[in-house]
Amino acid sequence: MSKVIRTAAVLGMGAALALPLAGTAQAAPVARPAATGEAKVQAKACYVSFYDKKNFGGRGVCMPVGDYINLRHYKWPGTNIPMDNKYSSAKIDKVCKVQLFRDFKYKGKSSTWKRIGGVPGNLRKVPDLSKVKVGDNKVTSMKIFCAADV
């Protein structure tokens, strides 16, 4: 086999292996063995992402674990636009419990997705928040807890 053909074969295989990763904005959480043998998750993994259009379109943001008393204080990345009352769809890792509320300070109508467990990286997809109690473009506060972070 000539050197040119071998080089082309290696480059082609590398491109084929990289192709499934193309367009991936956030890597799935990666489990790492802890000293106790339990799986821990890297701190920078994305567990919950929200989008300002239905079916995961428009602007997207990865929100870390935490309590968000008023989303008015959080801006869409690269903009000066507040995130309150702007969520239309979501992807939620099954290791997380997520509570979305219509009003600030965790009040008003709410929707909750309970932790199912399993391996981090398995997502629940919510393509249309208008079909859940909290509603489309109505989220003002939220709580995100992921057991993998404990």
Q: Does residue 30 lie within any of the structural domains?
A: no
Q: Does residue 5 lie within any of the structural domains?
A: no
Q: Does residue 26 lie within any of the structural domains?
A: no
Q: Does residue 14 lie within any of the structural domains?
A: no
Q: What pLDDT is attached to residue 109?
A: 96
The rounded distance, in Å, linking the Cα atoms of 52 and 45 is: 21
Q: Does residue 1 lie within any of the structural domains?
A: no
Evaluate if pTM is beyond 0.85.
Answer: no
Q: Does residue 15 lie within any of the structural domains?
A: no
Does residue 96 carry a pLDDT above 80?
yes
The whole domain housing 50 covers: 43-149
Residue 88 host element (H or E): none
92 near 113, Cβ under 8 Å?
yes
Region 75-94: mean pLDDT is: 94
CATH value at residue 105? 2.60.20.10
Backbone dihedral region for residue 121 (phi beyond 0: left; psi -120 to 50: alpha; all else: beta): left
pLDDT tens digits, residue range 114-133? 988 777 888 999 999 999 99
Q: Does residue 142 lie within any of the structural domains?
A: yes
Q: Does residue 125 lie within any of the structural domains?
A: yes
The rounded distance, in Å, linking the Cα atoms of 91 and 84 is: 17
The rounded distance, in Å, linking the Cα atoms of 46 and 55 is: 18
Domain count, the chain: 1
